[in-house]
Amino acid sequence: MKILAIDPGYERMGMAALQKTARGEMVLASACFKTSSKLPFPERILLLGCELGAWIEKWKPEALAIETLFFNTNQKTAMRVSEARGAILYEAKRHGLHVFEYTPLQVKIAITGDGRAGKERVTVMLKKLVVVEKKVEYDDEYDAIAVGLAHFASKSFPQRQ
Protein backbone atom coordinates (compact mmCIF):
# COMPACT_ATOMS: atom_id res chain seq x y z
CA MET A 1 0.00 0.00 0.00
CA LYS A 2 1.23 3.47 -0.89
CA ILE A 3 0.20 6.58 1.06
CA LEU A 4 0.96 10.27 1.25
CA ALA A 5 1.48 11.68 4.72
CA ILE A 6 1.14 15.36 5.49
CA ASP A 7 2.22 17.65 8.30
CA PRO A 8 -0.07 20.58 7.48
CA GLY A 9 0.95 24.21 7.47
CA TYR A 10 0.67 27.22 5.21
CA GLU A 11 4.24 28.44 5.53
CA ARG A 12 5.75 24.94 5.47
CA MET A 13 3.95 21.71 4.59
CA GLY A 14 5.76 18.47 5.33
CA MET A 15 5.07 15.72 2.78
CA ALA A 16 6.11 12.10 2.55
CA ALA A 17 5.27 9.28 0.15
CA LEU A 18 5.53 5.95 1.95
CA GLN A 19 4.93 2.35 1.00
CA LYS A 20 4.30 -0.71 3.14
CA THR A 21 5.50 -3.96 1.67
CA ALA A 22 6.10 -7.45 3.01
CA ARG A 23 9.63 -6.27 3.88
CA GLY A 24 8.39 -3.30 5.91
CA GLU A 25 7.83 0.42 5.49
CA MET A 26 9.78 2.51 3.01
CA VAL A 27 10.04 6.25 2.49
CA LEU A 28 9.76 6.77 -1.26
CA ALA A 29 10.16 10.55 -1.09
CA SER A 30 9.84 13.38 1.38
CA ALA A 31 9.94 17.15 1.18
CA CYS A 32 9.04 20.36 2.91
CA PHE A 33 7.06 22.63 0.60
CA LYS A 34 7.43 26.28 1.54
CA THR A 35 5.34 29.29 0.55
CA SER A 36 6.55 32.88 0.67
CA SER A 37 5.18 35.18 3.36
CA LYS A 38 5.24 37.91 0.71
CA LEU A 39 2.37 36.24 -1.16
CA PRO A 40 -1.28 36.88 -0.31
CA PHE A 41 -2.69 34.07 1.83
CA PRO A 42 -5.15 32.78 -0.83
CA GLU A 43 -2.21 32.42 -3.25
CA ARG A 44 -0.30 30.41 -0.67
CA ILE A 45 -3.29 28.08 -0.21
CA LEU A 46 -3.52 27.62 -3.98
CA LEU A 47 0.18 26.71 -4.14
CA LEU A 48 -0.23 24.15 -1.36
CA GLY A 49 -3.11 22.51 -3.20
CA CYS A 50 -1.25 22.48 -6.50
CA GLU A 51 1.86 20.94 -4.92
CA LEU A 52 -0.18 18.26 -3.18
CA GLY A 53 -2.05 17.53 -6.42
CA ALA A 54 1.28 17.06 -8.22
CA TRP A 55 2.48 14.65 -5.52
CA ILE A 56 -0.76 12.68 -5.72
CA GLU A 57 -0.42 12.39 -9.50
CA LYS A 58 3.24 11.39 -9.26
CA TRP A 59 3.02 8.82 -6.44
CA LYS A 60 -0.55 7.56 -6.99
CA PRO A 61 -1.28 6.80 -3.33
CA GLU A 62 -4.33 4.96 -2.06
CA ALA A 63 -4.71 7.15 1.01
CA LEU A 64 -3.65 10.36 2.69
CA ALA A 65 -2.67 10.48 6.35
CA ILE A 66 -2.68 13.91 7.96
CA GLU A 67 -1.96 15.25 11.41
CA THR A 68 -4.83 16.97 13.17
CA LEU A 69 -4.36 20.52 14.31
CA PHE A 70 -2.83 21.09 17.71
CA PHE A 71 -4.30 24.36 18.98
CA ASN A 72 -1.66 26.63 20.37
CA THR A 73 -2.02 30.04 21.93
CA ASN A 74 -1.79 31.88 18.61
CA GLN A 75 -5.35 31.83 17.26
CA LYS A 76 -4.44 33.52 13.98
CA THR A 77 -1.88 30.82 13.19
CA ALA A 78 -4.32 28.07 14.20
CA MET A 79 -6.99 29.49 11.89
CA ARG A 80 -4.56 29.75 8.96
CA VAL A 81 -3.33 26.18 9.47
CA SER A 82 -6.98 25.06 9.63
CA GLU A 83 -7.57 26.71 6.27
CA ALA A 84 -4.48 24.98 4.85
CA ARG A 85 -5.80 21.65 6.17
CA GLY A 86 -9.09 22.34 4.38
CA ALA A 87 -7.28 22.82 1.07
CA ILE A 88 -5.27 19.63 1.67
CA LEU A 89 -8.37 17.60 2.51
CA TYR A 90 -10.19 19.00 -0.51
CA GLU A 91 -7.36 18.05 -2.84
CA ALA A 92 -7.11 14.54 -1.36
CA LYS A 93 -10.84 13.90 -1.77
CA ARG A 94 -10.83 15.46 -5.25
CA HIS A 95 -8.36 12.75 -6.22
CA GLY A 96 -10.48 10.04 -4.57
CA LEU A 97 -8.14 9.27 -1.69
CA HIS A 98 -9.18 7.79 1.63
CA VAL A 99 -8.24 10.28 4.36
CA PHE A 100 -7.03 9.30 7.83
CA GLU A 101 -6.36 11.82 10.58
CA TYR A 102 -4.04 11.36 13.55
CA THR A 103 -3.48 13.53 16.61
CA PRO A 104 0.05 14.51 17.65
CA LEU A 105 -0.42 12.21 20.68
CA GLN A 106 -1.29 9.23 18.46
CA VAL A 107 1.73 9.89 16.25
CA LYS A 108 4.13 10.14 19.21
CA ILE A 109 2.76 6.94 20.75
CA ALA A 110 3.06 5.07 17.45
CA ILE A 111 6.67 6.15 16.92
CA THR A 112 8.12 6.22 20.45
CA GLY A 113 5.55 4.53 22.67
CA ASP A 114 5.33 7.76 24.70
CA GLY A 115 2.75 10.46 23.98
CA ARG A 116 4.90 13.07 25.72
CA ALA A 117 8.00 12.44 23.60
CA GLY A 118 9.71 15.52 22.21
CA LYS A 119 10.59 16.19 18.58
CA GLU A 120 14.18 15.05 19.06
CA ARG A 121 13.12 11.66 20.44
CA VAL A 122 10.63 11.18 17.60
CA THR A 123 13.33 12.00 15.05
CA VAL A 124 15.79 9.54 16.63
CA MET A 125 13.18 6.77 16.50
CA LEU A 126 12.24 7.60 12.91
CA LYS A 127 15.84 7.10 11.85
CA LYS A 128 15.76 3.66 13.48
CA LEU A 129 12.48 2.69 11.81
CA VAL A 130 13.05 3.84 8.21
CA VAL A 131 15.82 5.00 5.94
CA VAL A 132 15.69 8.63 4.86
CA GLU A 133 18.29 8.88 2.11
CA LYS A 134 18.65 12.65 2.06
CA LYS A 135 19.41 15.45 4.44
CA VAL A 136 16.23 16.73 6.04
CA GLU A 137 16.30 20.49 6.54
CA TYR A 138 13.01 21.06 8.38
CA ASP A 139 11.22 19.09 11.12
CA ASP A 140 8.00 19.30 9.08
CA GLU A 141 9.39 16.60 6.79
CA TYR A 142 10.14 14.26 9.71
CA ASP A 143 6.69 15.03 11.10
CA ALA A 144 5.08 13.93 7.83
CA ILE A 145 7.08 10.68 7.83
CA ALA A 146 5.99 10.08 11.44
CA VAL A 147 2.33 10.59 10.47
CA GLY A 148 2.72 8.02 7.69
CA LEU A 149 4.31 5.46 10.01
CA ALA A 150 1.56 6.10 12.56
CA HIS A 151 -0.95 5.28 9.84
CA PHE A 152 0.77 1.99 9.04
CA ALA A 153 0.76 1.15 12.75
CA SER A 154 -2.90 2.08 13.26
CA LYS A 155 -5.85 -0.28 13.45
CA SER A 156 -7.42 1.40 10.41
CA PHE A 157 -4.54 0.37 8.13
CA PRO A 158 -5.39 -3.35 7.65
CA GLN A 159 -8.98 -2.48 6.69
CA ARG A 160 -7.74 -0.56 3.63
CA GLN A 161 -5.18 -3.08 2.31
What is the distance between the alpha carbons of residues 46 and 54, in angstroms, rounded to a whole number? 12
Is residue 122 within 8 A of residue 136, CB to CB? The reply is: no
How many residues are recorded in the chain? 161
114 catalytically annotated? no
Q: Is 7 a catalytic residue?
A: yes
Whether 140 is a known active-site residue: answer: yes
Strand partners, 19: 2, 26
Which of these is catalytic: 7, 25, 51, 143? Answer: 7
Residue of 25, 51, 140, 143 marked catalytic:
140
Q: Which of 25, 51, 67, 143 is flagged as catalytic?
A: 67
For the chain, where are the alpha helices, taking DSSP H only? Answer: 41-59, 75-94, 104-112, 119-129, 139-153
| Interatomic CA distance for residues 74 and 63, integer angstroms | 30
**Catalytic residue numbers, as ranges:** 7, 67, 140
